[in-house]
């Protein structure tokens, strides 16, 4: 059966104390909205509709960065969840399949939970949970397997408030029935809002069936403040680290490793303490990432060693058995198999051939203030320490540069390139200079 997603993301999130819409605040390097979209994407939805309001332009940008086919609809007035979902009616006109309504600020609902809701045998399916403290959650009033109605806490009686089965807000229903019921919802309640939850009572009154699928409280975690955002990130990190350990990755100090939503690490890889993985990082099996390294937008092949204190920026591509050492930064560069960039170097907009060795202090001077330029280094090249490679420049296979050289022209295969000012030695001059400076310093002391 075809499935469509409606994800609500119109709220400002006043408690976030931010100019940004609440749903674009990041967890594990990705906006929380993307977490919800990613979970829903496992259902291969025919349509994804995001309901935006506050900061709609920002929400649209984030949405389309993840899925450029997703539709954006606007909720210009914040009149409740039922009103928000109804804004998606035109975008889903003619769609006959099931709709799952999700929330951009509830990022941890699992794909298998959504699949269970799709498979449930009822006209309307609600996702419920039993929290440690039911607090002010809406309550699910059931009769056996049948869901009779949902009661918001502020509208509930004492008996209803004693119920421990609570409403997550996530709902699944055939599109035609969902919008038919929403058009009957009124705002006759304590908040004067159009509640999505009212569709349950309306469905039961009309003779339709309703039921509950349950999940853990952690899946339904909603985020309304910076403190809750931090707590959510901590929950994600704990789960992601455990998953890596179960998959055969060694985390020397798990609590110190920071992972992103899309981090991929192969088994038998060793991750040392205080490593940060930004978005879009893949590390193949058998690699080692040493302490205090930062990686984002890069690929590390098997057998490579990175760090300590290394930085791999977007576009860094490390082939097998590459060595990248301490205080090395690599950006938009391909490092071929067996090459070494062991210390104190910047390699940007470059290609380094197999088995080449880049000496300490080497810089590819890739930016002229306006344009970026490429440096091409062949195979089996030796770049002497403190070499400046002024791009665009090509170093041929098996060539060498002398330490301290500034290379501004191409170097042919097997050639040695030297570019230094001549060394000048003046006998006795050092002692004369020291004597002069010491006398000057003594004079300054007497005058003070």
299 is catalytic: no
Structure tokens at 363: 């810089």
> Please, what are the averages of pLDDT over each run of 10 residues along the chain (448 residues)?
94 90 96 97 97 95 97 93 96 97 96 97 96 92 93 90 95 97 90 90 95 96 95 97 98 98 98 98 98 98 98 98 98 98 97 98 95 97 97 98 96 95 90 92 80
Please tell me the distance from the alpha carbon of residue 349 to that of residue 326, in angstroms, as a whole number. Answer: 20
CB atoms within 10 A of CB 445: 7
Query: 318-340 burial, b if ≥16 CB within 10 A, otherwise e?
Result: bbebbbbbbbbbbbbbbbbbbbb
The pair of structure tokens assigned to 249 is 């990755």
Which three-class secondary structure state does DSSP give residue 61?
A: helix
Sign, CA dihedral 217-221-225-230, equals: positive
**Residues counted in the chain:** 448
> What is the predicted pLDDT for the residue at 154?
87
Closest by CA position to 393, among listed 373, 418, 422, 421: 373
Instruction: Give the whole-angstrom CA distance, residue 401 versus residue 393.
Output: 13
Domains and CATH numbers, the chain: 3-220 (3.90.550.10), 249-417 (2.160.10.10)
- Give the separation between CA 383 and CA 402, rounded to whole angstroms: 7
> Tokens 């202090």, residue?
361
Q: Say which of 35, 343, 373, 374 is annotated catalytic.
A: 343
**DSSP letter assigned to residue 359:** -
**311 vs 94, 119, 337, CA distance in Å?**
51, 46, 19
Closest to 27 measured CA to CA, from 251, 226, 282: 226
For the chain, the straight-line distance linking the first and the last C-alpha, in angstroms and rounded, comes to 91
Smallest CA-to-CA distance from 68 within 86, 89, 50 is with 50
Helix, strand or coil, per DSSP, at residue 287:
coil
> What is the model's pLDDT at position 13?
85
> Can you tell me the distance from the alpha carbon of 56 to that of 74, in angstroms, rounded to the nearest whole number?
8
Nearest to 79 by CA among 176, 189, 215, 164: 189
């Amino acid at each position: 059966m075809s499935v469509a997603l409606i994800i609500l993301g119109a709220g400002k999130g006043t408690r976030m104390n931010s100019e940004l819409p609440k749903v674009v605040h990041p967890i594990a390097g990705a906006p929380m909205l993307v977490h919800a979209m990613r979970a829903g994407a496992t259902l291969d939805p025919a349509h994804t509709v995001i309901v935006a309001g506050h900061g709609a332009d920002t929400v649209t940008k984030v949405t389309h960065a993840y899925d450029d086919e997703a539709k954006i609809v606007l909720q210009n007035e914040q009149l409740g969840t039922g009103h928000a979902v109804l804004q998606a009616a035109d975008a889903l006109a003619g769609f006959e399949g099931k709709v799952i309504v999700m929330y951009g600020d509830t990022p941890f609902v699992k794909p298998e939970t959504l699949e269970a809701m799709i498979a449930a045998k009822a006209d309307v399916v609600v996702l419920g949970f039993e929290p440690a403290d039911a607090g002010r959650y809406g309550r699910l009033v059931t009769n056996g397997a049948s869901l009779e109605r949902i009661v918001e806490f502020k509208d509930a009686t004492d008996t209803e408030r004693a119920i421990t089965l609570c409403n997550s807000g996530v709902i699944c229903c055939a599109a035609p029935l969902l919008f038919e019921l929403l058009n009957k919802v009124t705002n006759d309640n304590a908040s004067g809002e159009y509640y999505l939850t009212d569709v349950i009572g309306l469905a039961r009154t009309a003779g339709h069936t309703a039921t509950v699928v349950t999940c853990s409280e952690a899946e339904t975690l909603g985020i309304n403040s910076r403190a809750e955002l931090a707590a959510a990130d901590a929950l994600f990190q704990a789960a992601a680290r455990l998953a890596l350990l179960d998959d055969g990755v060694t985390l020397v100090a798990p609590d110190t490793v920071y992972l992103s939503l899309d981090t991929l690490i192969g088994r038998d890889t060793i991750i040392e303490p205080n490593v940060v993985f930004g978005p879009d990082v893949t590390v193949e099996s058998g690699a080692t990432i040493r302490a205090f390294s930062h990686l984002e937008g890069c690929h590390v092949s098997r057998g490579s060693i990175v760090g300590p204190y290394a930085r791999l920026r977007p576009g860094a591509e490390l082939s097998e058995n590459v060595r990248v050492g301490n205080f090395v930064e690599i950006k938009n560069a391909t490092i071929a198999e067996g090459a070494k960039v062991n210390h104190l170097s910047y390699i940007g907009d470059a290609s380094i051939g197999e088995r080449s060795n880049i000496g300490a202090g080497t810089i590819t001077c890739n930016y002229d203030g306006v344009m970026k330029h490429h440096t091409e280094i062949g195979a089996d090249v030796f770049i002497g320490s403190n070499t400046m490679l002024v791009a665009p420049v090509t170093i041929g296979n098996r060539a060498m540069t002398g330490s301290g050289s500034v290379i501004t022209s191409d170097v042919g295969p097997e050639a040695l390139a030297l570019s230094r000012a001549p060394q000048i030695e003046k006998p006795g001059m050092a002692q004369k200079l020291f004597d002069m400076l010491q006398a000057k310093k003594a004079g300054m002391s007497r005058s003070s």
